[in-house]
Amino acid sequence: MDTRLTPEQQAIRDLAERFTADEITPHAARWDAECSFPRATIGKAAELGFGGVYVSEADGGIGLGRFEAALIMEAMAYGCPSTSAFISIHNMATWMVAAFGSTEVKARYLPKLVAMEHIASYCLTEPGAGSDAAALRTRAVRDGDHYVVNGSKAFISGGGENEVYVCMVRTGVEGHRGISCLVIEKDMPGVSFGAQERKLGWHSQPTAMVNFTDVRVPVANRVGDEGQGFRIAMAGLDGGRLNIGACSIGGAQRCLDETVRYVGERRQFGRAIAEFQNTQFMLADMVTELEAARALLYLAAHKVNDGSADRTRFAAMAKLKATEAGSRIANDALQLHGGYGYLMDYPIERFVRDLRVHEILEGTNQIMRMVIGRSLTE
């Protein structure tokens, strides 16, 4: 794999980094402290094409690959992992509509989704179906040219705020073969939302339960055929896992950079703490782990983009490595900042909180190990 960026890829990274420096980093601490959702900033990201990063140009997106998407998410996470991850989830759900939707459903939803006039949520998890996603209970019963949907989805990013919900529902038998994918709108009668969840991190994005009570959804809103929903959901997660790994890498890079600057300025025992061997060893471990995670993630991005047979395993490996490395690096950064790292006056504690959930969502890291192990033994 050639690790050098092409001029186009470097321009994309530079664009995302400038956007982050101007529009995300200066405001991220306030968004976190106030639990405010930066809809206007997300709209500005859409103006750059970041609402449909790997949606084809024919469908209104900017038609980039998964590697370029990783560069963008990594750059934005340098300022705020929570906001970058929110944009990532929208991209995953929008791509599912573009990749598997009919001409009719694409024409109805993609223009506003790509422009992020409407934002999409990915709805798979339920109160009783987390890691065992194929056990989901939300049911859609056919009634003429509609489905009648009843059930609930849990931990939904954008819940109550977003206009579009790309939902996995049961239309047939138990197990993954009975799952289909529907696009459900916020304003359809019978759609309601729980209270906003009170979270450790990810304060810049809303998260809530989404409830469906006799919601009538046109059959035309189905994405793919009946019974294809689980496969569509898993295809979305290959890319989602890359993106959330990229968010961890971007956040870890910020923590490392802040720490290198801090230890060069902080003096104890008559000299900068950067001069102590213990500090240097910790920094060495942090940067080595970061670069190893980044290299694996970039390789996995190319495999997913190329449709390689082992793409799902590599996406899981990259997500596992990047998210665990991100959390360790953030935690070590806090340690090297000492008591100051624990204060909200410094950004490190926010990154510790925001990066921790990356080991849980898009499939827990325990599930990643199952995916990887099974791919080697089956």
What residues pair up with 193 in beta bridges, in sequence order? 210
How does DSSP classify residue 26? T
Catalytic residue among 23, 126, 359, 362: 362
Long-range contacts for 308-316 (Cβ within 8 Å, ≥24 apart)?
310/375, 311/238, 312/234, 312/238, 312/371, 312/375, 313/371, 313/372, 313/375, 313/376, 315/237, 315/238, 315/239, 315/241, 315/242, 316/241, 316/363, 316/368, 316/371, 316/372, 316/375
The whole-number pLDDT of residue 3 equals: 76
How does DSSP classify residue 135? G
Catalytic-residue membership of 362: yes
The whole-number pLDDT of residue 177 equals: 93
Look at the alpha carbons of 280, 284, 285, 286 in this order and tell me if their dihedral is positive or negative: positive
- Run of H or E residues at 154: strand 146-157
- Asked if residue 97 lies in contact with residue 166, where contact means CB atoms within 8 angstroms, the answer is yes
Average pLDDT rounded to a whole number, residues 104-115: 98
The whole-number pLDDT of residue 27 equals: 98
pLDDT at 200 over 70: yes
The pLDDT-based confidence of 40 (bands split at 50, 70, 90) is: very high
CA distance 227 to 180: 5
Residue 169 CA neighbour count, 13 Å, CB half: 31
The whole-number pLDDT of residue 247 equals: 98
pLDDT tens for residues 84-106? 999 999 999 999 999 999 999 99
pLDDT at 375 over 90: yes
Average pLDDT rounded to a whole number, residues 191-204: 98
- Greatest CA separation found in the chain? 79
The whole-number pLDDT of residue 1 equals: 66
